[in-house]
Amino acid sequence: MYVVTPEEMREIDNRAIREFGIPGLVLMENAAIRTVDVIGWEYPNLYKSGRVLVLVGGGNNGGDGLAIARHLMLKGAAVKAALFVSEDKLVGDARTNYDIYRALGGEVLLICRKNPNHLQELDRCIEKADLIVDSILGTGLSRDIEGTVSDVIERVNRSPVPVVSVDIPTGINGVNGRVMGTAIRADYTVTFGNIKRGHLFYPGREYSGKLFVSPISLPLCSVESIGVKTFTLEDGEVSEGLRERPKDGHKGTFGKVGVIAGSLGMMGAASLTSMAALKGGAGLVTLGCPLSLMSIYQSKMTEVMTYPLEDGDEGYLTGEAIPSVQDFLRDKDVLAIGPGLGPKCHGLQILRYILDRFDISIIMDADALNHISKDPGLFRTCKGSIVITPHPGEMARLTGMDIKDITESPIEVAGNFAKEMGVVVLLKGATTVVAHPDGRIYLNSTGNSGMATGGSGDVLTGLIAALVAQGYSTYDAAVYGSFIHGRAGDYAMKKWGETGLVAGDILNEIPLVFKDMYELKKMAR
């Protein structure tokens, strides 16, 4: 499912009108019908005796609201439209829908200085309403909301009356999800044609409530024709993309994962990564770990093989481990490196050796990123393909940027670094961004705040490595891995809640996510 900016959506709408001759009024009517359908699904008793307050702005978003008001009124609801501009300011399709609504006897409350009692009247309407429809401002908002609109939003947010927003909650920036001064907190949002970026990034994702994406007869080719490369995935799309596991498969069929990780005090990271690779479906997983710690790992993990790498009895890998790396990687399909290596590890030396000599896919996380940040140009020397999985702090070390700038523009930062270095970038966050060097951007919609816990990223690293070992491209593995990892976290949250959720809880849910995805795949046949 493609994800667009407000500007891209305007271009898609204009193309439908200009090139295909679809009148804007038809698009507006389809949007209204789709929204009323959603309202009917979620509030089935509303048509019988329900009272609806529709908040109407002056642009096309307000025109959608007026068409919605008409359809709700014709279905039997008691509707009042609160108009935030004088009727002479309504133009085009919005004016047409206003005239139809009024001709049918639709009631209007004018919210402006010409009506000195407008806010008191609005308060009474809110108090009596069973539902509020928010169609004040759309996705193109570029400045903070203030004045009367701000006052109204605060009144709506204080009210217990449920809210359905049209396209995007008023006050949410359609590009980045930021609150522009203040914003409507919707229970449901119905958007049209495509998801907007502001629906997926917080706090816009939270303010949008449950999101419905409704078709309004836009040509299917429009998104691709204007060069949109940003997308997200739902369960059905992921299940469709998963490879069937052959019935006659054996350990070698599902790939061999090598893990180089762990140090004294951070041994759990290596265990989580290794076990996640197995839970993710890899056939064989071998942990290359500091020699002095190997006996501990052997007693901790019965299913993971271990391989000793020299540590000089220090508890972290040293340059003396390099001669053993070649034999360790000889038969591996993919390498996961970094979790728990520690700051004292001779990581840069080891990474330089691997990147220069081995044509192997590499999943690089945690301390591997911290070490290579001293010489990020090494990425360009890799003979194989690389996925890096930084959080904003690690990305800051790799790029020299401020964390604030990274969190404010994660798509641009991840995309630019992927293109510059030729690596797949999985930039972690509440909405994880996965960027390909060719410009493709995936925005992940699964997961929850309970996953903000030590070891969660180590599980993700192992899961991605498992998918690469099974034949997925590094980009697809990063995309599917982030989705499945987040969904496993969602499963864990349903069992244990967000508070106190630990990485091991996520790890244990991974097989169940795969099980459900494959069952969904069978049902779709």
pLDDT of 320-351, one tens digit each? 999 999 999 999 999 999 999 999 999 999 99
pLDDT reading at 115 higher than 90: no
pLDDT in tens, 149-194: 999 999 999 999 999 999 999 999 999 999 999 999 999 999 999 9
Which one, of 378, 379, 386, 329, lies nearest residue 358 by Cα? 329
pTM, two decimals, is 0.96
CA distances for 282 relative to 251, 297, 451, angstroms: 8, 19, 23
Q: Where are the domains of the chain?
A: 3-225, 237-523
Is residue 215 reached through a cis peptide bond, with omega within 30 degrees of 0 on the bond before it? no
Q: What is the pLDDT of residues 420-442, one digit of tens each?
A: 999 999 999 999 999 999 999 99
At the fourth CATH level, the homologous superfamily of domain 237-523 is: Ribokinase (3.40.1190.20)
- Cα 270 from chain centroid? 27
Tokens 């925005």 belong to residue = 443
pLDDT at 359: 95
What average pLDDT does the segment 339-366 reach?
A: 96
Looking at residue 284, what is its pLDDT? 98
Per the prediction, the chain carries an average pLDDT of 96
Taking only the tens place, the pLDDT of each residue in 56-89 is 999 999 999 999 999 999 999 999 999 999 999 9
Cβ atoms of 54 and 60 within 8 Å: the answer is no
236 falls in which pLDDT band (50, 70, 90)? very high
What's the CATH code, domain 3-225? 3.40.50.10260
d(CA 468, CA 470) in angstroms, rounded, equals 5
Minimum mean pLDDT range among 223-227, 267-271, 473-477: 223-227
> In terms of Cα–Cα distance, which of 105, 157, 166, 108 is closest to 135?
166
Q: Are 422 and 437 in contact (CB under 8 A)?
A: yes
pLDDT band at 114 (very low <50, low <70, confident <90, very high): low
Q: What confidence tens digit (pLDDT) does each residue in 130-145 have?
A: 999 999 999 989 899 9
Q: Output the pLDDT for position 363.
A: 98
- Split at pLDDT 50, 70, 90, the class of 47 is confident
